[in-house]
């Protein structure tokens, strides 16, 4: 299966990328691990793909009390990052290990995955629980958007036509915090039927988020995450009913909180 | 509309003209005659088309050929040298790591990536690494064994 006819351009700078993205049916291509499969299925038929893989938006570093991850950082690079070897950020590595497969992790980028906004994608739950922010750039300039405000529905985000993600910024949790991500995957696709991420601090649960159970990942905001889950809108499909997903999510929330709490003991 | 493309494949510079929508696997097979990368599915799942891009395993069906410009591509054709099989290839033969052989080039290249970073992987790590390579003959037991044995042999030959 091959994609519909398309043109290809490699952006040499952000400004160059913006110029290319002025074409209405253009699409940003990073690692291509989400976009190329849907182009092969002809679900996506862009007129132009703008390859941004050569832009300098890669790398992981801690600046002050924030973790900065370049949008073009691959899953594989995240797995190797020493910066993530702390209990408070353990959910990130735990989540990445379960994403796709070796080949997909070698090419797939964190920014590309977020922009694709598959409702069963794993990482959004983790970033929601960690309270992450996305740095966006467009010809109009820069803006920061909380991950909680980024997803607008299945495969839909707050990105405007010429806008791209440049960095993911995670505030370093307070000392003594732990985080965790647990999911139950569909055995064939590997996507989450339900996934839950939790951040637990010394004073108790900070944030819990779920993915795979609705049109977009969501933060369970009220005091008790289980109560919030009871009230949440959950969807069902041929793989799992809404009832089953709600039950699954409830179990996964409990496990994520327990594991994150366990990890608080390991953080100085 | 064709675009000129320069690829570095198995250490050689190769020129060809491709449509922008051409997938790397088709450029390798149809453009360059390197048919060791197999096409086993249409959905980026089976891993039979796995090649190395700058030493890392990737699915050549999930990459436009134009995206690979500037990278070093390694296909199964270059693993053996001077008529000698690569230790991973030999190990697959000796440990019955293949039956029909369709998935084998992809598996061997995934194993090459794995062993280049982790010369002594646990069975769990091996199995986790094979998640993107489907084999419908062996049940994987002998594949895991082949990779484990290849790792041991490669460690031995480096150490001495």
Segment A53-79, tens digit of pLDDT: 999 999 999 999 999 999 999 999 999
Q: Which of A109, A83, A79, A80 has the alpha carbon at shortest distance from A96?
A: A79
Per CB-CB distance under 8 Å, the chain B contacts of A36 are: 23, 44, 62-64
A5 touches chain B (CB under 8 A): yes
| pLDDT band per the 50, 70, 90 thresholds, residue A225 | confident
Does the beta-carbon distance from B63 to A107 stay under 8 Å? yes
Residue A57, C-beta contacts closer than 8 angstroms, at least 6 positions apart: A70, A71, A72, A73, A111, A166, A167
Phi, psi (rounded to 5 degrees) for A101: -145, 180
Q: Tell me B64's DSSP state.
A: B
Q: Which of A3, A253, A240, A169 has the alpha carbon at shortest distance from B65?
A: A3
- The CATH 3.30.390.50 portion of chain A extends over 178-264
Is the pLDDT reported for residue A190 higher than 90? no
pTM higher than the cut 0.80: yes
Is the pLDDT reported for residue A226 higher than 90? no
A26 touches chain B (CB under 8 A): no
Per CB-CB distance under 8 Å, the chain B contacts of A29 are: 64, 67
Does the beta-carbon distance from A29 to B67 stay under 8 Å? yes
Nearest CA in chain B to A5: B21
CATH of A60-171, one of 3.20.20.70, 3.30.43.10, 3.30.465.10, 3.40.50.300: 3.30.465.10
% pLDDT > 90, chain A: 89
pLDDT at A127: 98
Residues linked to residue B43 through DSSP beta bridges, in sequence order:
none
Calculate the average pLDDT of chain A: 95
pLDDT at A13: 98
CA distance B139 to B152: 22
% pLDDT > 70, chain A: 99
Q: How much is the average pLDDT of A243-263?
A: 96
Calculate the average pLDDT of chain B: 96
| pLDDT band per the 50, 70, 90 thresholds, residue A115 | very high
A106 to chain B nearest CA, in Å?
7
The token duo for A24 is 């209405």
% pLDDT > 70, chain B: 98
| pLDDT band per the 50, 70, 90 thresholds, residue A232 | confident
Does the beta-carbon distance from A102 to B113 stay under 8 Å? yes
| pLDDT band per the 50, 70, 90 thresholds, residue A268 | low
Fold of domain A178-264: Enolase-like; domain 1 (3.30.390)
Per CATH, is A7-51 categorized as 3.30.43.10?
A: yes
A4 touches chain B (CB under 8 A): yes
Q: Tell me B135's DSSP state.
A: -
CA distance A256 to A196: 6
Nearest CA in chain B to A77: B56
Among B5, B21, B45, most A C-beta atoms within 10 A, so best to mutate, is: B21
The model's pLDDT over B72-125, given as tens digits with 9 standing for 90+, comes to: 999 999 999 999 999 999 999 999 999 999 999 999 999 999 999 999 999 999
B123 to chain A nearest CA, in Å?
15
Nearest CA in chain A to B67: A51
Q: What domains does chain B contain, in order, with CATH numbers?
A: 3-78 (3.10.20.30), 87-159 (1.10.150.120)
Phi-psi region of B11 (alpha: psi -120 to 50; beta: other; left: phi over 0): left
Is the pLDDT reported for residue B160 higher than 50? no
Touching A: B residues 29-48, CB under 8 Å: 42-44, 47
- The CATH 3.30.465.10 portion of chain A extends over 60-171
ipTM of the complex: 0.96
Helix axes B104-117, B87-94, angle to 10 degrees: 120
């Amino acid at each position: 299966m091959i994609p519909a006819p398309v043109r290809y351009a490699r952006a040499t700078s952000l400004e160059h990328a913006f110029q290319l993205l002025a074409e209405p049916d253009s699409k940003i291509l990073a690692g291509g691990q989400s976009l190329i499969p849907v182009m092969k299925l002809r679900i996506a038929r862009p007129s132009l793909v703008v390859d941004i893989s050569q832009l300098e938006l890669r790398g992981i570093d801690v600046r002050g009390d924030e973790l900065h991850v370049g949008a073009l950082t691959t899953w594989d690079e995240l797995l190797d990052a020493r910066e993530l070897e702390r209990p408070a950020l353990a959910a990130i590595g735990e989540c990445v290990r379960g994403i796709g497969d070796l080949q997909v992790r070698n090419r797939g980028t964190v920014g590309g995955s977020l922009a694709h906004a598959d409702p069963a994608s794993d990482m959004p739950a983790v970033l929601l629980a960690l309270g992450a922010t996305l740095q966006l750039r467009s010809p109009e300039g820069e803006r920061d958007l909380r991950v909680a405000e980024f997803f607008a529905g299945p495969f839909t985000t707050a990105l405007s036509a010429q806008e791209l993600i440049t960095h993911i910024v995670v505030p370093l949790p307070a000392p003594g915090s732990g985080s965790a991500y647990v999911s139950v995957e569909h055995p064939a696709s590997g996507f989450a039927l339900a996934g839950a991420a939790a951040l637990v601090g010394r004073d108790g649960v900070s944030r819990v988020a779920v993915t795979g159970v609705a049109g977009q990942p969501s933060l369970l905001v009220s005091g008790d995450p289980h109560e919030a889950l009871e009230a949440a809108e959950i969807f069902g499909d041929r793989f799992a009913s809404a009832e089953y997903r709600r039950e699954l999510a409830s179990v996964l929330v409990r496990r994520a909180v327990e594991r994150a709490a366990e990890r608080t003991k390991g953080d100085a | 509309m064709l675009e000129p493309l320069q690829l570095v494949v198995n250490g050689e510079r190769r020129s060809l003209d491709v449509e922008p929508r051409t997938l790397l696997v088709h450029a390798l097979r149809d453009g360059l005659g390197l048919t060791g990368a197999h096409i086993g599915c249409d959905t980026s799942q089976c891993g039979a088309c796995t090649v190395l891009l700058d030493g890392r395993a990737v699915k050549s069906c999930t990459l436009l050929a134009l995206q690979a410009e500037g990278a070093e591509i390694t296909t199964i054709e270059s693993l053996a040298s001077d008529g000698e099989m690569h230790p991973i290839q030999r190990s697959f033969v000796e440990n019955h790591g293949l039956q029909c052989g369709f998935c084998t080039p992809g598996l061997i290249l995934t194993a090459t990536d794995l062993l280049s970073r982790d010369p002594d992987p646990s069975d769990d790590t091996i199995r986790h690494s094979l998640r993107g390579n489907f084999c419908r003959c062996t049940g994987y037991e002998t594949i895991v064994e082949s990779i484990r044995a290849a790792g041991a042999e490669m460690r031995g030959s480096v150490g001495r």
